[in-house]
Amino acid sequence: MPYGWVMEGYGDIEGYVLTRPGSPERGRRLRTLARLSPRVPSGMSAEEFMANAEALRGVSDPYNSIDLRTASTAPAIITAIGQGGKWDNASLHLALMDLAYEIGEDIQEACEAHFNGGEYHGVDEGIEPVPDSHVDLVIWGMQREMDRELRYNRVTHERLPAVQMSEFSWPIQRAIAERRRLRYKQWGIGRKEWETGKWSLWNVQLDPEYRSRREARGLAERNDARRPE
């Protein structure tokens, strides 16, 4: 049975505050911990806070079994195109926002490859094989979410139509689904986590040099905007 991995947790996120002031810029697991924790004690570095959290493992560990989805009437696992209502999509835990943003960056790159040409690579190894039926399911799920979360034109304030991902070439569609599966794996979410609805901070890849591509892109765009003509 294919995983029910659809476009949960990603919509119109323009202007969303990615992390609280003082949150770490780097580190996949560290950034996830920062979203899980209401605050880092005064005078304690993020790295020290992580060490304290790791000391709780196997004792009284609040980070070992976390609800994957927020409350929703949506089916726990989407297994077929058309399943669930347009407004029923369950959202991922807010601590997984970096995961949602990485999927969003993959979609943006797919759009650039579709409209402007260029290569858009999938994932050759390190993930479970992705059957064609699952590619179709993922693309459908992403399209439903994009149709629901339409952006507004900043001048006319009219809703802008969503890009139609079914019009992308098959290699791009397949690459999107493969990248999506890889992103979930990077945050420690696989078949078991999806079926049980639970995830663990300790399964998120440590990856201390990880930095949000969306934040890096936003910083580059702001710097370009400040640059004199």
- The DSSP annotation for 144-158 comes to HHHHHS--B-TTT-P
Query: What does the domain layout of the chain look like in residue ranges?
Result: 28-226
Residue 42 gets the label, from left (phi > 0), alpha (psi -120 to 50) or beta, of: beta
Tens digits of per-residue pLDDT, 83-131?
Answer: 666 656 667 888 899 999 999 999 999 999 999 998 999 998 999 889 9
* Confidence (pLDDT) at 19: 43
d(CA 32, CA 47): 12
Which residue, among 217, 10, 5, 8, has the nearest Cα to 104 in the 3D structure? 10
- pTM check: above 0.85: no
